Amino acid sequence: MLGYLSAVHPLLVNMIQSSLRDLHGANKWLAALALALVGLTLAVAIAAACLLRLALDRLLFPPVPLQPVSQAPAEAFRLAGHDGAAMVVSRFDRTVSSARQGCVVFFPGHDGGLARYARDLFPDLERAGLVVYAVAYPGQDGAPGPARMADVRALAATAVARVVASCGRTRTVVAGRSLGAMIAAYACADSSPAGLVLESTAPSLSAGIRGALREHWFLRPLALLPMGWILVHDFSLAEALPSRLHVAIFQGSADTRTPLEDLSVDAVQAPIVVVDGGTHADTLLRAKPAMIATMLGMIRGSQEAAAAGGEDD
């Protein structure tokens, strides 16, 4: 029994062993009370872990209603998942100049928010000559749900492949923020776009979940749960990032949800651009000009390398 508990949390094992020793001393009733409290804590922890595992998909992709967008985009395509769910990809290109530079496939954070990005990010990308393909996860921003992580990963890879086939490998950049950064990283594995730009990312899914739980005082105890046991698979940037892909990560120095110190250049094998003072909420706005310049640089570099090597787009 203690061997199983040690996999859940070593502290609980130490507390139980200490309480068992005290049962043979003078304060047997205090030790018994302590043991009961430890047992109750363990029961609550196991129940919370089971609940978190069962509700993980809904927590990662909560339902988000479609908000009005000033300039309604055209639906580029949709990809069907299970149980009537679908990932919907919308195209933003109304203000793109005639000198088009390329395309960006954008994966938002776990709470979607197409209208916000259509206001704060996409117009700047379009003015830079980039056609935006914005992803709506199942159950969010008008896409039929519900979402499943396994579905989202597979559909995201298909979405990137569709845009690469249409826009060209050397003219397509993939971008993602927060949870969308992890999804974007896995989606690039087989398509080899010009580059990948990530913002406010966690090094792994478990780290991202812990960060989100720490944001709310009443959920902080759940951050102590063994995420490795709860998650069927702990997705990570180290696993996802293709070795030959040009990657740039923009991370805020004041981000408490996905802290800068959680990232390691050695672990992710990608350059990290520190955004001074950036929080999880505003790093995108602070880093926007540099991110766009990086995207354009990735496209130019990819085209030049393809031309030098005599490769087709």
CATH of the domain at 167: 3.40.50.1820
The pTM (predicted TM-score) of the whole model is 0.84
Would you state the pLDDT for residue 244?
A: 84
CA neighbor of 189 nearest in space, from 233, 226, 156: 156
Say if 300 falls within a structural domain: yes
CB 198 within 8 Å of CB 263 = no
Q: What is the full per-residue pLDDT of the chain (313 aa) written as tens digits? A: 444 444 445 555 565 556 555 545 556 777 667 777 766 655 555 656 566 666 678 888 999 998 888 777 889 999 999 889 999 999 998 766 656 899 999 999 999 999 999 999 999 999 999 999 999 999 999 999 899 988 999 999 999 999 999 999 999 999 999 999 999 999 998 899 999 999 999 999 989 988 888 887 777 777 777 777 778 888 999 899 877 899 999 999 999 999 999 887 666 778 899 999 999 999 999 999 999 999 999 999 999 998 887 776 6
Positive or negative, the CA dihedral 272, 273, 274, 278 is negative
pLDDT given for residue 44 in this prediction: 56
Query: What is the model's pLDDT at position 1?
Result: 41
Residue 29 maps to a domain: yes
For residues 138 and 50, membership in a common domain is answered with no
Question: Is 59 a member of any domain?
Answer: no
Q: What's the CA gap between 269 and 276, in Å, rounded?
A: 21
304 Cα distance to chain centroid? 31
Instruction: Clarify whether residues 168 and 302 are in a common domain.
Output: yes
Based on the fold, state whether residues 84 and 106 are members of the same structural domain.
Answer: yes
Domain match, 49 and 74 both: no
**Does 302 lie in the same domain as 266?**
yes
Residues 282 and 302 in one domain: yes
Which pLDDT score, from 0 to 100, does residue 2 have?
A: 40
Q: Which long-range contacts (CB under 8 A, 24 or more apart) does 232-237 make?
A: 234/204, 234/205, 234/206, 235/153, 235/182, 235/186, 235/204, 235/205, 236/182, 236/203, 236/204, 236/205, 237/181, 237/182, 237/185, 237/198, 237/201, 237/203, 237/204, 237/267, 237/268, 237/270
User: Number of folded domains in the chain?
Assistant: 2
Is 6 within a domain?
Answer: yes
Torsion of Cα atoms, 252 then 69 then 176 then 165, to 10°: -150
Q: What is the DSSP letter of 226?
A: -
Residues 6+ apart with CB under 8 A from 313: 168, 169, 170, 171, 303, 306
Q: CB-based burial of residue 297 (10 Å sphere; 0-12 exposed, 13-18 middle, 19+ buried)?
A: middle
Asked if the structure places residue 313 within a domain, the reply is: no
Per the structure, the complete domain to which residue 232 belongs is given by 64-308
Q: Rounded CA gap, 265 and 203, in Å?
A: 10
- State whether 34 and 68 are in the same domain: no
150 and 70 share one domain: yes
